[in-house]
Structure formats: structure tokens, C-alpha cells
Amino acid sequence: MDAGRTALAAPEGRASPTRPGAPRLARLALWIAPLAFLGVFFFYPLGAVLRIGLIGLSAANWVKALRETIPRPLWFTFWQASLSTLLTLLVGLPGAYVFAHYEFPGKTLLKALTTIPFILPAVVVAAAFNALLGPRGWVNFALMSILGLAVPPLVLVNTLWAILLAHVFYNTTVVLRIVGNHWAHLDPRWNQAARVLGAGRTRAFLEVTLPLLWPALLAAALLVFLFDFTSFGVILILGGPQFSTLEVQIYVEALQLLNLPVASLVCLVQLLCTLILTGAYARMTSRTQVASRPRSQSQVRIRPQGVLQRGIVAAVVIGLSLLLVSPLAALGLGSVTRLEANRAQQGEVRYGLTLDFYRELFQNARQSLFYVPPIDAARNSILYGMATVVISLSLGFLAATALSRPGRGNSALDSLLMLPLGSSAVTLGLGLIVTFHRPPVDLHASPLLLPIAHSLVAFPFVVRSLVPALATIPKRLREAAAMLGASPGRAWREVDLPIVARAAAVAATFAFAASMGEFGATSLLARPEYPTLPIAIYRFLSLPGALNYGQALAMATLLMLVTGLGILLIERLRLPGVGEF
């Protein structure tokens, strides 16, 4: 316990710099590229479209919008996001604990599988939930035959539960990865010291482990909250029209009623809320960062022993599989299942197995100009994903390094970095169109606009994954390296990089996943010659017919496979020679 106190009282990372001028300049230099990127591709386009919108807003509309349009969705947005975040933490934290502390067979695979929900477009999640929990889904089918019911007992679609369940399904991986990764590297000796000094299990957890875990916990909670806060597809598709968030309101006003002025006002309210949240977050974390010597994972992780440990691991594995993996399995199964024979002539539904949907994917049976060969869609998605990883990781490293060094203005800059995640994708998409469709920057014609937009989404995840890891690096390690004659670059490579390599893998996973699954910006900005897998899925789902539905599920299964392989690869990519930290 004493150890914990001391660490909190004298954070090693915050020791005063020896030469005051140079570090500050270096810190400012680090900020240039990330801020320029955000300025050009986020603030400028968003500002441009908001300006167009707000100019057209009459005083009467201001009042009307603030009184009638905004309060209801504003309240619901906060309500569902808070509830979703709480549930996600509840599900994710036991998982993070188990992933951080225990080795068990199938762990890598399970971890990759739990990330796949993150990339699924909302319509696909709806299809998965429908196959599993819908009126004729497996669960209802089982309940009906066991209990002898005539009506499906479980009603999910168009309830608040559907929204909450979908948000937990999407975001548990954020908690698993960000908190789990941080937890795995906590020095267990501090906890042990507290125990030796007489603290009970609970007290040691509350007074030592929890404070040390706090930065990662807050980071994960903020990311999950912002993700839910701007939720759009889930609300529309699974929640239904009785639920409206600010983002849904913006979409309806901007794209359906073509009322850009009111949409801009709602967007501004949403931005303000996000800014308050990220500002509060930045203040909270700036006071709680603790430097500690990171431990190698092999020192921390053990195989579960005894009934209790095995029980905990088994419960978490089964729980996560049911919640996160079974819908994926339902999708995969749906892609190889067809309804037998003529439905109109038969009294009951019968199923059969088939590979027809996959076979159909590979031929342009309708001679359509817009036929998407699955290999091409996968290649486009992967290339966009890789470009997103490169862009967001290089900028993210700069920003995270700057953030992890002491300096004034950090918390303000930190809250700016998080804004893209908490702002309206619809508005930003329109902004990018308004600003970048004419020379000199005619990005509309460039395939780079898409990974840039994806990087805006990925950026907050990348920064939040890296900062807790960088903040734990004791300054004296770098100083020791410098003392031994290492250049700053070499010190970074030999000290920082090995320690953050694990966090960088987490960051890369999120960046890749954010790009693979993104649909909103993609549908507005993608070059038609380079369609992605989610776009191909939507094309099938926009037409009736068993073949279209089956091909959409087959394409979604391909998306899951490609992303899963990509994530496993990123985890493996860890550089030989760099220690396991």
C-alpha cells in the first residue's frame, strides 16, 4: 500500500526537465503533424459545412430547434450511451482481467474473434441478431420447442435492449484490449507489497491496482462512451424510429429533410457535449498517470490453477463466446443455409446446406457494371485498412509521445484529439465534399480521401491505446539511455518502442478494424471503381430475394474472415528482438 502511495505522490514521469527550452520545442514539434492533419481534414471541412448551415438559420428556427428538435434526442443520447458504457465495462472487465492474467488454450483465437464485432456494419449485426434472437431465430426456436409455446417469447428488435446489446457486442473488445493490455503490464510486486503489509485482497485492489489501472479504464470508458454517443446505424436499424439520438436527428435533418441549418445546430450541440466530455476526461487523466516499470508478460501470466481460477477463466470464456462469438457463428451458418423448395407451396420452413451463395459471388450473372468481384473488394478493403494503419499510427505516435511528456496545454490538446470520434460523421462527410471537391485539393478524385477519413475515426483509438503505455515509461530509463550515449532517436527505438510495441499492436488492430468495417463515410467518399466489402454487402441487401440475402451473408462472412486474419497477423507481426512487454 505504501508503495502505491509513493508512486502516486511522486510520479517519476513528471520529473522536471534539465534543459527547459529544448524539450518544450521538441514537444511543440511533435504536435505539428497531428494538429495539421486534424486542422485540414477535420476542423476545416466541419467548419465549412457548419458555416453554410448556420448562416441559413433564422432566429425563429434557433429557438424552435433548441426547444423542440434537440432536448428529446439529447437526453436519450446520454441515457443510452451511459447505460451502454456501463454494461460494456461490466462485460469487458472480467474478460480483461482473465486475458491479462491467464494463459489458456485458444486464447489468441478468442481474442481475435472478440474483435470482429467491431468491424461489422450495422445491417450485418442486425442480420446476425435476427438469425440468433429473431422471431424465428435459434434461441426463440429452442425456447418454443422446449416450453411448447406458439409465439416466440423473446422480442428484441425495436427495443432498448437491442441497442444496448448491440453496443456491448461492438465495444467489449475496446475494454478487453485497452484495459487488458494495461493490466497485463502492471508490476505485480506493488500489489504483493500491499498484501505483505497487511492489506486484504479487496483493499489491495482498490488502493493499488485500481489507481494504477485508472488511466486505461478511463480511456476505454471514454472511447466506448463516445462511440455509443454518436451511434447511428445501431439506433436506426436495431432500435427503430421511437429512439432518436443526436446523430440520427442530424441524418434526418440533413439528408432526408434537406434542412442543413437545423442539422448544423444539432451538430454544434453534439460537438459541445463531446468537448465537455473529452475536456473532463483530459483533466481527470492528467492527474492520475503513474510511471512504473512495465513487466514482461511472461512474468505476470500464468496458467489457471485450482477450481476457482479455472472456474473464473471458464466462465469468462463461455460468457464471451455466447455474447460475442455466437452471433458471428450464426452469420457464417446463414451464409451456407438455404430455405428448401418453394416456400409458397409448403406449410413449413425447411433448411438445407449449400455453397451456392459463395459460388454466385464469383460470377457476374447479371452482367452488371457494378458487379464487385469478392477478391477485388477484399483487396480494396485491405489496402484502405493498411493505409489507415500507416496514417493513423504515424500521426498517433507523434501525438501520444507529445501527450506523455509534461507540458502546458496538453489536456486542451488531448480533448481536441478525441473530437472526431464524438462528432457527426454525416456532417463531416458533407464537409469533406464541400471542401475537397475542387482544385487545388481535388481529393474527391483521389482514393486517398477514404483512408484519411478512416484515420480520423481511428486516430482517437490509436492515441488512447498508446498514451497509457507511453506514460508508464519511467523517465530514468530514457535518461539512462541518453547517459550511455544513445541519440534521442536511438533512445526512442531501444526504450520506448519495445515497451509500447504491444500497445502499438492494439492501436494497429483498432485502426485496421475501424477501416475495414466503416460504411458511412465510405458510401459517400469511395471511388466507385474501388468498392469495399461493406459496400458490396449493402448492394446485395438493397434488393429482395433469397440469392441476394444469401450473398450478403456470404460477403459478410468473407469480411469477418479477412479481418480476423488481418488481426491475427498484426498480433504476430511483433518484431523479433523486441522483448515481450
Partner 1 sequence: MRQGSRIVSLVVLALFLGACTFPGMRGGAGPGLAASGQAGTLNVMTHDSFDVSQGLVTQFEQANHVKISFFKSGDAGAALNKAILSKDSPLADVFYGVDNTFLSRALAAGIYQPYNSPLLAQIPKAFQLDPTDHALPVDYGDVCLNYDKMYFADHHLAVPQSLEDLVKPEYKGLLVVENPATSSPGLAFLLATVAHFGPDQFLGYWKQLRQNGVVVVDGWETAYYTNFSGSSGKGSQPMVVSYASSPPAEVIFANPPISQAPTASIVGPDMCFRQVEFVGILQGTKDLGLAQKFVDFMLSVPFQEDMPLKMFVYPVNPNAKVPAAFVQYTQVPDRPAQLSPEEIAQNRDNWIAEWTQAVLH
- Site for partner 1, residues 176 to 235, rule: CB under 8 A: none
Pick out residues in 52-111 that bind partner 1 (CB under 8 A): 52
- Measured distance CA(395)–CA(507) in Å, rounded: 12
Among 446, 480, 483, 565, binds partner 1 (CB under 8 A): 446
In angstroms, the CA 233 to CA 244 distance is 11
Among 81, 178, 237, 395, indicate the residue that binds partner 1 (CB under 8 A): 237
Q: Verify binding: residue 370, partner 1, rule CB under 8 A.
A: yes
Site residues for partner 1, window 521-560 (CB under 8 A)? 523-524, 527-530, 538-539, 541-550
Q: Does 357 bind partner 1 (CB under 8 A)?
A: yes
Please identify which residue in 192, 298, 364, 487 interacts with partner 1, judged by CB under 8 A.
364
Q: Does 145 bind partner 1 (CB under 8 A)?
A: no
- Enumerate residues 269-288 that contact partner 1 by CB under 8 A: none
Cβ distance to partner 1 smaller for residue 120 or 387: 387
User: 171 near 118, Cβ under 8 Å?
Assistant: yes
Q: Is residue 254 near partner 1 by the rule CB under 8 A?
A: yes
User: What DSSP string describes 251-289?
Assistant: HIIIIIS--HHHHHHHHHHHHHHHHHHHHHHHHHHHTT-
Residue ranges of the alpha helices (H) in 405-448? Answer: 410-418, 425-435
Tell me which amino acid residue 367 is.
Answer: Q
Rule CB under 8 A: is residue 373 a binding residue for partner 1? no
Which residue, 214 or 459, is less far from partner 1 as judged by CB? 459
Minimum distance from residue 344 beta carbon to partner 1 (Å): 4
- Which of positions 447-506 make contact with partner 1 (CB under 8 A)? 447-448, 490, 493, 497-498, 501
Q: Least Å distance between CB 477 and partner 1?
A: 17
Tell me the three state secondary structure of residue 438. Answer: strand
Least distance from C-beta 390 to partner 1, angstroms? Answer: 5
Residue with cell 492520475: 288
CA distances 121 to 116, 529, 568, Å, are 11, 21, 20
Task: Please state, in angstroms and rounded to a whole number, the distance separating the CA atoms of residues 193 and 202.
Answer: 14
CB of 543 to partner 1, least distance (A): 6
Query: Contact between 298 and partner 1 (CB under 8 A)?
Result: no
The DSSP 8-state label assigned to residue 353 in this structure reads E
Q: For 495-520, what is the HEC assignment?
A: HHHHHHHHHHHHHHHHHHHHHHHCCH
350 is a site residue for partner 1 (CB under 8 A) = no
Binder of partner 1 out of 74, 236, 316, 453 (CB under 8 A): 236
Residue 237, CA atoms < 13 Å, CB-side half-sphere: 17
Task: Show the cell assigned to 13.
Answer: 514521469
- Stretch of 119-127, 288-296, 304-312, 410-418 lying at the interface with partner 1 (CB under 8 A): 119-127
# of chain residues touching partner 1 (CB under 8 A): 92
User: Per CB under 8 A, which of residues 319..338 are in contact with partner 1?
Assistant: 338
Q: Could you tell me if 175 and 139 are in contact, meaning their C-beta atoms sit under 8 angstroms apart?
A: no
